[in-house]
Amino acid sequence: MADDAMNDEMKEIVQDFLVESQEVLDGLDQRFVALEKNPDDADLLNEIFRAAHSMKGSAGFLGFTRLVDVAHHAESILNKMRQHEMAVERSVVDTILEAVDVIKLLMKDIKETGTDAHVDVSAMSAKLAAVLQRPASPGTPAQTPASASAPEPPPKLGAILIEEGALSSEQLSEALAKQDASPLLGEILVRDKVVAEEVLDKALKKQGPKPGAEGDQTIRVETRRLDQVMNLVGELVLGRNRMMKLCTGLEQSHEADPLVRELAETIGQLDLVTSDLQTAVMKTRMLPMRKVLGKFPRMVRDLANKVGKKVGLELVGEDTELDKSVIEEIGDPLVHLIRNAIDHGVETPEERRASGKLEQGTIRLEAAQEGDRIVIRISDDGRGIPVEKVKAKAISRGLVTPQEISTWGRREIINLIFQPGFSTAEKVTDVSGRGVGMDVVRTNISRINGTVEVDTDEGHGSTVTIKLPLTIAIIQALMVAVERRVFAIPLTSVVEAVKLSPGDLKTINGREVLTLRDHVLPLLRLSTMFEIPMQKDPAELGYVVVVAVCERRFGIMVDRLHAQEEVVIKSLGDLLGEITGVAGATITGEGKVVLILDMAELVQAMHPVGVLLNAR
């Protein structure tokens, strides 16, 4: 049992190392890009050096020799930069960034196998060693007192005691195995008479004050536990909805009963507490946008160098917070948009000079919270989207006829770039030209009930605006009915609801459409989509719910409109999870299971006429 406890403790130590090191790595790319722009920033250089030194020390303590080897060589180069023995040049930074990529592979190996022995680092170490052998850059000054006195990170207590010979690795492992939530490592060592109290005091003084020693303000919690809490809160919300529905019925039938009034007051209080708890739990799952944005400075740097362009990146709103589930989904769309902006949007330095612009183009990525939505804007000052070129490409591919597109507005033509396989690139490269980027953007954003809009000013640049929900676990939905089946439509997609009158429905190319304020909307019958037998009188036309998905509008025909409700999305599982047009299910206040419609899949399932009859 003691060996099992020690193994569990070591696994926990390794896990802590992985988490801390990943936090370091997440910030290194951005810091190196900043250092390249400001090579004389001694504070930034010292910060990078300390991060590498700390990671190397922790890896050495845990026996990850290959990681130590790469980190040590990189640290030595950084130290020469600190000592002004080597200039901060692009070629040197390129090599260190390659080393960071290798360290990421080593971290992945440690996470999956518990060791770093499966990644060959010999080539990387040799490359770093070659950089170290370069002669000092001409004209570099001698070490300054500021760089010489840069503070080092405090070493761990166990490492200090081992270094001084007061403790062996075996004794440290035994002490860690006995550690639970209460005692500190030093208390265990003194209690078991492994080290003397005087030796411990000396080691603690050598370690120095621990950051945040006045009182830790944060703790790490596994996301699995947060997911469990969020799931329980979702169940609580469903229970609250059910109780409120039942209470409303009791109030209507026993209005004069004082016990019913007291029950109503109690459930009202429960409603407030549940809402506050729901908000609090959602906030614990929030992550700052920098978790996503931090990787883009290096990506822009590397890609701009690859295509021979000069591109700067401005990040605004990095502290804007999003739910973890949304953060995980937004990464790929942003990558595609940034790559498109560099490859298609920003011109070459020669083209920019010829048009009177600065040689360096600028991409601005801005995130902000607006109401209950997060708005992300990606803009560039490049050439913009060539509307006529998009139109010609759409006609040549047979997506639309010249007669049809002649009635379209500029925005409708631009929206064609979201069609699968659509690209205006003259040739396919490893950067773009395959026509998959914008389609992926639309699909991923629609999956999380978000919307995307594109605006362009030809010759001056483009802006892509993404609007996202704060969370995708609990949403507002419009409840509708077809026959006796009830469905939930996410309210973020709903534009309006229209009562049908005789003569409103038309047929074009065999498809039902509705003319609404001089716009033609393609219609989708849920009864046809889900094969629901119809028993109502055909003269009862019902309603059309107008929905918008990525600037494309269509109508959903339903029999009745129910109330707006806050619903908790539940997965349908593996057996039912592949049903087209269904995002999940929820339980209503009446205790019924209701399917939540997936607007993105529904618009994809419609005939291409839905593209041509875009109501904008």
Helix (H) or strand (E) holding 456: strand 451-457
DSSP states of 462-503: EEEEEEEES-SSEEEEEEEEETTEEEEEEGGGEEEEEE--TT
DSSP 504: -
Contact (CB, 8 A) for 56 and 48: no
Closest C-alpha among 506, 503, 541 to residue 523: 506
Strands 582-587 and 321-323: unpaired
Q: In what order do the strands lie in the sheet with 552-558?
A: 494-499, 543-549, 552-558, 519-525, 511-516, 505-508
The three-state secondary structure class of 445 is helix
Phi/psi for 525 (5° steps) reads -90, 120
Contact (CB, 8 A) for 106 and 66: yes
541-to-513, 538, 554 alpha-carbon distances in Å: 14, 7, 17
The three-state secondary structure class of 560 is strand
How far is residue 30's CA from residue 296's CA, in Å, rounded to a whole number?
A: 8
Closest C-alpha among 465, 438, 274, 270 to residue 364: 465
Torsion of CA 529, 535, 539, 544, to 10 degrees: -30
Active-site residue identified among 9, 20, 47, 53: 53
Amino acid found at 516: L
Active-site residue identified among 36, 75, 321, 412: 75
* Three-class secondary structure assignment of 348-387: CHHHHHHCCCCCCEEEEEEEEEECCEEEEEEEECCCCCCH
For this structure, is 340 an active site residue?
yes
Report residue 100 CA to chain centroid gap.
22
Active-site residue identified among 340, 415, 444, 449: 340
Residues with active-site annotation: 53, 75, 340
